[in-house]
């Protein structure tokens, strides 16, 4: 009796897995993928692939705590065990987190994953994926005007990687080969530096779009007039302007019996001398530059004075407490003689 109850619980649990529309669509997608790929001879080696994934620690177990049925499931009746198709981790090959995140998102986008896993980008999709000899469509080939690397290489590697994720055949070599192809096609992603995931996504989609636009169709007769219009870009990235100045805040102390203080902000060049700061304060306060004394002062008194106009501005930080004192005009006897 307990065995019957357990069997019913398993069936009810399997129905819950595919109850929601989103999960049903994923199950339908898995059904199409596995039904198409079942003709491949290497699909029967999932036990060896599972062992390789265990050794490389790249496979994630399902978080549901149950197992998919092997007889009456919606995925073609293949023995899955406790693994879920498409749910697998990607090996990090040195700061490739940005790349792995985008690959996981694209692999779990049903239409995009189906398009790549079933190789629908080829003209003839009657042959099994990976069997290029039986495909009526030509593979992605190099065309005049492209770069030195083979056209379609990125799309081919991406297709193989997505297909491997959905057929339990993923090994770190798949993602390593994809990274090598990306590094060869885009020098900005070469090496082990960190990059922006959105930047990689835009580049990858643009690259796939370019590859698919240059598929060669040998069976199609050319027309007298042909016009191909490709999208020149997906988006435009505008660089942030590099600042050439930095702000400094100066407390101005005016002369006189009723002297007052005023805090002003001035913009000084990143590299310059103290004379630039003096001129900026003079322009802001209308005080002659020769009557301004620049000092650094805190609650315990004066710390230093900046009397040399040739002194580098780098000695002043934005957090320093800078004061500008207005001094009386210097007495010059020659000025009195000139007035006479």
pLDDT 10s digits, 31-64: 666 666 554 434 444 444 444 444 444 444 433 4
Residue 225 lies in a domain: no
Domain that holds residue 111: 2-213
Q: Both 178 and 249 in a single domain?
A: no
Q: How confident is the model at residue 153 (pLDDT cuts 50, 70, 90)?
A: confident
pLDDT at residue 78, as a whole number: 47
- Of the three residues 213, 236, 271, the one that is the final residue of a domain is 213
Of 138, 31, 157, the closest CA to residue 99 belongs to 157
pTM: 0.44
> Which residues make beta-bridge pairs with 245?
269
Q: Both 84 and 182 in a single domain?
A: yes
Q: Count the Cβ atoms, other than its own, within 10 Å of residue 121.
A: 19
Q: Both 166 and 47 in a single domain?
A: yes
**Which helix (DSSP H) or strand (DSSP E) does residue 293 occupy?**
strand 292-298
pLDDT 10s digits, 120-138: 877 544 444 555 444 444 4
> Which residues make beta-bridge pairs with 323?
251, 295
Q: Both 22 and 142 in a single domain?
A: yes
Residue 177 lies in a domain: yes
Q: Both 19 and 77 in a single domain?
A: yes
Q: Both 185 and 285 in a single domain?
A: no
Residue 270 lies in a domain: yes
Q: Both 313 and 170 in a single domain?
A: no
> Which residues make beta-bridge pairs with 302?
297
Residue 221 lies in a domain: no
d(CA 172, CA 322): 58
> What are φ and ψ of residue 116, in 5° steps?
-85, -45
């Amino acid at each position: 009796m307990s065995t019957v109850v357990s069997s019913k619980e398993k069936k009810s649990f399997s129905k819950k897995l595919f109850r929601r529309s989103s999960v049903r669509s994923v199950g339908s997608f898995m059904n199409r993928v596995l039904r198409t790929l079942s003709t491949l001879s290497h699909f029967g080696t999932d036990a060896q692939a599972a062992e390789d994934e265990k050794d490389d620690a790249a496979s994630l177990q399902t978080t549901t705590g149950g197992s998919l049925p092997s007889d009456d499931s919606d995925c073609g009746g293949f023995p899955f065990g406790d693994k879920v198709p498409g749910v697998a981790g990607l090996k990090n090959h040195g700061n490739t987190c940005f790349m792995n995140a985008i690959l996981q998102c694209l692999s779990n986008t049903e239409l995009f994953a189906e398009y790549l896993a079933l190789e629908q980008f080829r003209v003839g999709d009657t042959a099994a994926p990976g069997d290029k000899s039986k495909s009526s469509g030509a593979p992605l080939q190099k065309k005049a005007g492209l770069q030195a690397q083979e056209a379609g290489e990125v799309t081919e590697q991406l297709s193989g990687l997505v297909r491997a994720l959905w057929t339990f055949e993923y090994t770190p070599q798949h993602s390593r080969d994809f990274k090598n192809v990306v590094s060869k096609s885009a020098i900005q992603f070469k090496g082990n530096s960190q990059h922006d995931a959105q930047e990689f996504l835009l580049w990858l989609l643009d690259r796939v779009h370019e590859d698919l636009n240059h598929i060669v169709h040998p069976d199609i007769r050319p027309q007298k007039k042909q016009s191909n219009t490709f999208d020149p870009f997906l988006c435009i990235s505008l660089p942030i302007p590099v600042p050439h100045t930095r702000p400094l805040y100066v407390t101005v102390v005016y002369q006189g019996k009723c002297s007052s203080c005023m805090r002003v902000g001035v913009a000084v060049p990143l590299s310059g001398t103290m004379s630039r700061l003096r001129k900026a304060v003079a322009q802001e306060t209308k005080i002659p530059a020769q009557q301004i004394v620049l000092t650094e002062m805190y609650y315990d008194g004066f710390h230093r004075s900046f009397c040399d106009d040739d002194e580098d501005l780098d000695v002043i930080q934005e957090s320093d407490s800078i004061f500008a004192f207005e001094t009386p005009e210097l007495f010059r006897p020659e000025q009195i003689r000139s007035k006479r």
